[in-house]
Amino acid sequence: MQEHDMSWVRTEMALAQPAPPTERGAYAWVRKNLIGSVGDTILTVLGIAIVLWVLPQVINWAFINAQWIGPNRTVCATVAQGGIQPDGWSGACWAFVNAKFGQFMFGTYPVEERWRPILVAVLLVALLVPMLIPRVPRKGLNAILLFLVLPVVSFFLLSGGAFGLPVVETSRWGGLLVTLSLSFVGIAVSLPLGTVLALGRRSKMPIVKLLCVIFIETVRGIPLITVLFFASVMLPLFLPAGVTFDKFLRALIGVSLFAAAYMAEVVRGGLQAIPKGQYEGADSLGLGYWQKMGLIVLPQALKLVIPAIVNTFIGMFKDTSLVLIISIFDLLGVVKQNLSDANWATPQTAKSGLIFAAFVFWLFCFGMSRYSMYTERRLDTGYKR
Amino acid sequence: MKKDQGCLGSRGACKAEKGLWVMKHIAIGILGAAALGFTASAASAGTLDTVKQKGFIQCGVSTGLAGFSAPDDKGEWQGIDADFCRAVAAAVFGDGTKVKFTPLSAKERFTALQSGEVDILSRNTTWTINRDTALGLNFVGTTYYDGQGFMINAKKLPGVNSALQLSGAAVCVQTGTTTELNLADYFKSNKMEYNPVVFEKLEEVNAAYDAGRCDVYTTDQSGLYGIRLTLGSPADHVVLPEIISKEPLGPAVRQGDDQWYHIVKWTYFALLDAEELGITKANVDEMKNSDNPEIKRVLGQEADTKIGTDLGVSNDWVVNIVKAVGNYGEVFERNVGSGSPLKIARGINALWTKGGLQYAPPIR
């Protein structure tokens, strides 16, 4: 009977074997990703050729030939252009960025008062970093300091007029200072305001709903540039002579309301993605409206739309450059303004200045984008793929 | 509508501005209607008193135009337009630093003056009848006579020394500007042919010209010098002498305040008279002891002189102006002439005694 018993039960797991040598390591990776087929091979060769062709030139221009310090245009111009460089020289004029760095950061903010924006920046970093690191405790206190106390403190520090600080008119603010203040206020205002608007738009109360719809659709229907232009050019004509309120403040309000309208639609998208059962479940637990929204619906809805929220933030960060049209000089505006300085006019100046501005914008946008991806992964409990 | 780009070499209404044309005209309509009310209230306050009370002059400048108003490394505004405001501050306060600058875009500049946001608009603005009347401005004079000119690539067009020799040339020009229209008129009226190479953005025009896609570049002459600095080999490029349009650039004030208007206007004349009499920043103190009665009169050294006080400023106002910024010639040379990278020749901006157009009535 024994020959009938062909069954064999393995009592222990087979040991995991390493993949064959041809399927692992750098060689396999190269074979799979770079020379997997004839088409891939051609693309790889082309790609390497382009990199080899472009990269040395870029490095040469941006680092090796670049001029880092200098008093005026002569360091960045060839002899034929009235400078000191040999003919045929081409390199970045970081000396221009260097000489104008203070302006790129603070605009025409008085030099002896520049410790004030620097202090605000230090405070912002000191409060923002613990806010962004999940492990650090006391998020509630941190949030109050960051979103309620810091703006007030910054306002008095930056504009002065209290505690013996001399007044610095907002017309002298500029550069990164303006870009960051506009976007920080925009972000801090637009998310809560946008959430309220989104809830209002889905509300069952007809007047609230109507008001929210009118606000959102009106603001979304007008380009930001028009909002800014009207705030700057038309508003003074309707106010009595002498009654002006600050142009920067007008831009701040315009940008914040504009971002809030977009944010409202983003949040509404998240709210609509929450199944009806969640609402009903909350109702059946006897939760009131705000409890239902605050504890059940919004945490899920906001988590779903993190990419879209960050997208709006990044878009708004870059849109702040539009304030140039009402003569408020953000980073890009100050760079462009300084391109008109004849003391620095060379063929390299514009490229260098604009690349610097692009780099700073990229730094901030990339940072926001990476942080949002990290947050998504951390909160991604139910939908992980 | 020229003179409004916030870029090196200025120039030309860009396309975006064309798009704002309708809006601007609506705005101008409202402006016109509102102007009366505003000027009335502004006049009743008296700009001089307001300025003295706040302790500085608010000066509207451009958002950056080489040689006229552009920030230096310290963020201080430099240029002819900026220095003009310093001169007015020196006349009023005896101190050329008592001025605050407001950079204004082309779209905002007139509203800013009307609404009292600035006291002087010194922003490379072309003097036209429409602006003098319908917009409710008062231009005080022409601090810089500009006009559309041509720059040629001398390597590609050897031997050309007049715009009349440009028949058949490829001309780079920014589209949607009066520059483009003036160009067409000029070539048509001289019965010449040309190939326009048009671009929408100033940067594109510069790049195309530098790359040799056209032989000729046309825009306002003062701008051509700024653009030449950004070219790969500036020595190969020549600005031709012809000017084919009139662009008198000057400061403007609100209508309805004659005293302020006179102060700003005579500050301009004082700059010119100082140059004519040879009064410079360096010698102004010696000149006060000059025997020349005219110099003494201008510098307020005459006994019982009332020239300054009648104007509403102190009697040594011209001394203060010259000490702050120098005479007109010094302002010109420092900002756009031999003392600057632009190296613009005086040309028609020379004094009338030297064959130019700058002429001032006597101070007496």
Judged by CB atoms closer than 8 Å, whether chains meet at A81 and B114 is answered as no
Domain that holds residue B168: 148-239
Query: Closest approach of chain B CAs to the CA of A74, in angstroms?
Result: 10
Q: ipTM of this complex > 0.90?
A: no
Per DSSP, chain B holds a count of helices (H) and strands (E) of 15, 13
In chain A, pLDDT over 70 holds for what percent of residues?
96
Q: Are residues B133 and B168 in the same domain?
A: no
Chain B hits for A324, Cβ within 8 Å: 6, 63, 105
Question: For B231-246, how does the pLDDT look when each residue is reduced to its tens digit (9 = 90+)?
Answer: 888 888 999 988 899 9
| Structure confidence at residue B201 as a pLDDT band (50, 70, 90) | confident
DSSP symbols for B183-210 = HHHHHHHTT--EEEEEESSHHHHHHHHH
Residue keyed to tokens 């520090």:
A157
Chain A hits for B75, Cβ within 8 Å: 102-103, 107-108, 111
To the nearest whole number, what is the mean pLDDT of chain B? 86
Mean pLDDT for A150-161 is 87
Confirm if A187 and A123 have CB atoms less than 8 A apart. Answer: no
In chain B, pLDDT over 90 holds for what percent of residues?
57
The beta-strand segments (E) located in A248-362 are: none
Query: Closest approach of chain A CAs to the CA of B186, in angstroms?
Result: 29
Number of C-beta neighbours around residue B102 at 10 A:
22
Task: Give residue B17's pLDDT.
Answer: 41
Q: Does A352 touch chain B (CB under 8 A)?
A: no
* Eight-state DSSP code of residue A342: G
Q: Does A225 touch chain B (CB under 8 A)?
A: no
Query: Cβ contacts of residue A77 below 8 Å, gap of 6+?
Result: A83, A84, A85, A346, A347, A348
Chain A hits for B123, Cβ within 8 Å: none
Confirm if B57 and B92 have CB atoms less than 8 A apart. Answer: yes
- pTM for this predicted structure: 0.84
Query: In this structure, what CATH number is given to the domain that contains residue B182?
Result: 3.40.190.10
Q: Are residues B128 and B256 in the same domain?
A: yes
Pairing of strands B148-153, B169-174: unpaired
Task: Give residue A30's pLDDT.
Answer: 86
Confirm if B51 and B39 have CB atoms less than 8 A apart. Answer: no
B360 lies in a domain?
no
Helix pair angle (B317-325, B80-93), 10° resolution? 150
User: What is the C-alpha to C-alpha distance for residues B129 and B105, in angstroms, rounded to an integer?
Assistant: 21
Q: Are residues B138 and B259 in the same domain?
A: yes
Chain A hits for B31, Cβ within 8 Å: 237
Chain B hits for A231, Cβ within 8 Å: none
| Structure confidence at residue B19 as a pLDDT band (50, 70, 90) | very low
Mean pLDDT for A38-55 is 94
Mean pLDDT for B211-228 is 90
How many CB pairs below 8 A link A and B? 136
Chain B hits for A326, Cβ within 8 Å: 105, 108
Task: Give residue B303's pLDDT.
Answer: 85
3-state secondary structure of A242: coil
Q: Are residues B139 and B257 in the same domain?
A: yes
Fold of A97-109+168-379: MetI-like fold (1.10.3720)
Task: Give residue B39's pLDDT.
Answer: 42
CA A333 to chain centroid: 17
Mean pLDDT for B280-307 is 92
B106 lies in a domain?
yes
Choose among A268, A339, A263: nearest CA to A297.
A268
Q: Closest to A342 (Cβ–Cβ): which among B107, B233, B340? A: B340
Main-chain dihedrals φ then ψ at residue B57, nearest 5 degrees: -105, 135
Q: Does A321 touch chain B (CB under 8 A)?
A: no
Of the listed ranges A331-345, A356-370, B175-189, the one predicted with least confidence: B175-189
C-alpha dihedral (A264, A266, A272, A278), degrees to nearest 10: -90
B209 lies in a domain?
yes
Structural domains of chain B, count? 2
Q: Are residues B23 and B172 in the same domain?
A: no
Mean pLDDT for A116-120 is 93
Question: For A209-233, how does the pLDDT look when each residue is reduced to its tens digit (9 = 90+)?
Answer: 999 999 999 999 999 988 888 877 7
Asked whether residue B11 carries a pLDDT value surpassing 70, the answer given is no
Query: Closest approach of chain B CAs to the CA of A237, in angstroms?
Result: 7
Judged by CB atoms closer than 8 Å, whether chains meet at B100 and A242 is answered as no
Number of alpha carbons in the 13 Å side-chain half-sphere of residue A110: 11
Asked whether residue B10 carries a pLDDT value surpassing 60, the answer given is no
